[in-house]
A and B are shown apart, each in its own frame.
Chain A
């Protein structure tokens, strides 16, 4: 069964350092999502891609976060510089070919990257 891959699974860094997370969606999935889940909260969408284009990054803190999906396949989420409040689980998801993540389409999640900023 195809899965969404993420790496690393765990990352510990010091504040002010740069960190990067990688996601490889299910093959053929045009829509890719990055979510952040702070402990005790539900996952929150940071950025959504349709192929290589950003569809929604309204909740992405653009002063320190960046995301790219250059060839419309895998994606990287970067934080620079990391702050203590960035400690969270970062989840990647993808959905099947459709128009920009059509409502009702199932999103398939990877196992996440747990980030701890010291």
Chain B
């Protein structure tokens, strides 16, 4: 899988705002889609692994959806908090089994 696009590149929101990001990838030869959260000076943290078209996953205030036919995934954060500030990476996984990471969306939540 090549050409993974994440948008926006960066985002500044106020505490309490809800926000969402997009991950776009080629829909052919798809197997799984991984989302990670990477806070500064910490390890990237796995959020979700999604495999089925129409999948929806939720972890606290964070949720994600997957559309494998059109090649995109959305990540939603409800009621953003300053501790949500991080870079959010998506990584589709195809037949090669290799994760191909996007450049990430950097979220800053202002108190």
Contacts and interface: CB of A to CB of B under 8 A. Distances in A.
Interface of A: 3-4, 40-45, 48, 56, 91, 100-112
Majority secondary structure, B binding face: loop
Contacts of B100: 42
A40 B103 contact: yes
A109 B44 contact: yes
A3 to B, nearest CB: 7
Nearest to A41: B103
Q: Which residue, of B31, B98, B102, B103, has the highest number of chain A Cβ atoms within 10 A?
A: B98
A100 B98 CA distance: 11
23 contacts: A40-B103, A42-B4, A42-B89, A42-B100, A42-B101, A44-B101, A91-B44, A102-B97, A103-B32, A103-B51, A103-B93, A103-B97, A104-B31, A104-B51, A104-B93, A106-B34, A106-B46, A106-B49, A107-B34, A107-B99, A108-B43, A108-B46, A109-B44
Interface in B83-111: 89, 91, 93, 97-104
Contacts of A112: 43
A51 B89 CA distance: 27
A56 B99 CA distance: 12
A67 B31 CA distance: 28
Interface in B14-60: 31-32, 34, 36, 41-46, 49, 51
Interface residues of B, number: 24
A42 B51 contact: no
Contacts of A45: 98-99
Nearest to B102: A42
Contacts of B45: 109
Nearest to B42: A111
Contacts of A43: 44, 89, 101
